[in-house]
Amino acid sequence: MMRSSLAGGNAPGKAERDFYARLTSHKILTIILLSLALLAVLGIALGLGSANISWEDFWQVFKGAVSPAPASQETGSKLARTVIINLRLPRALLATLAGCSLAGAGAMMQGILRNPLADPYILGISAGASFGAALAVVLGLGKLAGFTLAQGYVVVASAFTFGLLATFIIYGLASLRALAPETLVLAGVALGYLFSAGVSLLKYLSSHEELRELTLWLMGGLAGAKWQSLFLLFPVCLAALAFLWRSSWDLNALGAGEEVAANLGVNLGRLRRNGAVGASLLASATVTFTGIIGFVGLVAPHLGRFLVGSDHRYLIPASCLLGAILLLLADTLARTVASPIEIPVGVITSLIGVPFFLSLLFRERRRWWS
């Protein structure tokens, strides 16, 4: 008995097992390669910038940070160390985390709405969250820069509340009547305008100092990255992503249609509710620290689907890695292309994202909705 099961059973069975093993090992390999690519891009992002730091100094700082020896004072110049550890590293990590979260939220929204055009930005969730965050700032409940941890959580909570509100309005519209994908996008855009108008009103009402802060933040930027914001964002995003990842099988089943999912024992109501809450939390928490960054949540899951297919067990991690790589590259470009002037990262992601979105809307239309 033991021997035969170890030997792999009969011959045709073995061939099929090999097929599935090949299928999955290809996906796992892709995810490993993406992780390595992310590390490489992180390295590049840390090495490049307006402060001129030689790669030798960079290597010294890196070695000093990695080795446990307390000889770090000697290794690398002090300036290089300060720039890399206190400025570039938190910024690069924030870009990684934000890219991950937006892509994860996008993959989830596309999955639960069964809509290839869904994304926290396009559906107005980011706009809703930004309104919530701005409201907290203008009401003096929290701050966007130089905040304490508690103040930070207040802003996140307010952003989350309004992001969730936007999600449930969109979800309500989607379930009220079977809306066509394009109609849902239009509703999202309209909702986005509504919340943007709300933000404009808040800007009009706010004091000079708040206004400056709000305007800079709304353009979408990672310049204000601090270790503090990372400590706040990291546990929230990690928990939400893990939570979403766990529902992969349910999302796969829903991909085959609502009736099929119901027959397979999926609790559709619970899946949608949890998905909406998780995706809104990811998008809102990110918006609080980075402002509105568009299209990462749309582009990354599509690239992911192209690379590893539609099984969410692999799609969600692949999308997260791609989102992180994309945002990190975009931010590095934003910092360096016109150095020392910085371009808002939202501008770069829109430059990549808008043509992609339009091509999805028109060229691929037939493939998805035939």
Partner 1 sequence: MVVKLAVDGLSFSYDSQPVLNEVTLAIDPGEIATIIGPNGSGKSTFLRCLARILLPAQGVIYLDGRNITNLSGRSLATLLGYVPQEGTKVFPLTVYEAVLLGRRPYITWAVGQKDRRVVEEILRFLQLEPLAGKPLTNLSGGEKQRVMIARALAQEPKILLLDEPTSNLDIRHQLEVLGILESLARKKNMTVLMVLHDLNLAARSSQKLVLLHQGRIFASGSPQVVLTPENIRTVYDVEARVRQDDLGVQVLPISPANGRAKL
List residues near partner 1 by CB under 8 A.
9, 12-13, 16-17, 19-20, 23, 110, 114-116, 249-250, 252-253, 255-257, 259-260, 262-267, 305, 309-311, 313, 367-369
Q: With helix as H, strand as E and coil as C, how does 259-290 read?
A: HHHHHCCCCHHHHHHHHHHHHHHHHHHHHHHH
CB of 158 to partner 1, least distance (A): 33
Contacts of 334 (CB under 8 A, 6+ apart): 221, 342, 343, 344, 345, 347, 348
Q: For the CB of residue 83, give the shortest distance to partner 1 in the complex, in Å.
A: 43
Which amino acid is present at 48?
L
CA 203 from chain centre, in angstroms, equals 26
Q: Which residues contact 83 (CB under 8 A, 6 or more apart)?
A: 49, 51, 53
Choice between 16 and 74, CB closer to partner 1: 16
Distance CA 150, CA 158 (A): 12
Q: Which is nearer to partner 1, 28 or 79 (CB)?
A: 28
Nearer to partner 1, 198 or 323 (CB): 323
Cα distances (Å, whole numbers) of residue 286 to 97, 109, 327: 8, 16, 12
| Shortest Cβ 267–partner 1 spacing (Å) | 6
DSSP class of residue 83 equals I
- Label residue 310 exposed, middle or buried (CB < 10 Å: 0-12, 13-18, 19+): middle
Residue nearer to partner 1 on the CB measure, 93 or 123: 123
| Structure token pair of residue 44 | 């590049």
Euclidean distance between the first and the last CA atom of the chain, given in angstroms as a whole number: 50
Closest CB to partner 1 among residues 47, 309: 309
Least Å distance, CB 191 to partner 1, is 22
Alpha-carbon span 137 to 293, nearest angstrom: 19
Nearer to partner 1 by Cβ, of 56 and 364: the residue is 364
The Cα–Cα gap between 276 and 294 comes to: 18
Closest to partner 1 by CB, 3 vs 367, is: 367
Closest CB to partner 1 among residues 212, 270 = 270
CA distance 323 to 344: 17
Q: Which is nearer to partner 1, 27 or 335 (CB)?
A: 27
CB of 20 to partner 1, least distance (A): 5
Write down the least CB distance from residue 163 to partner 1, Å: 24
Min dist CB 206 to partner 1, Å, is 42
Please say whether the beta carbons of 304 and 107 come within 8 A. Answer: yes
Smallest separation (angstroms) from partner 1 to the CB of 182: 13
User: Which one, of 137, 38, 142, lies nearest residue 97 by Cα?
Assistant: 38
Q: How far is the CB of 26 from partner 1 (least distance, A)?
A: 10
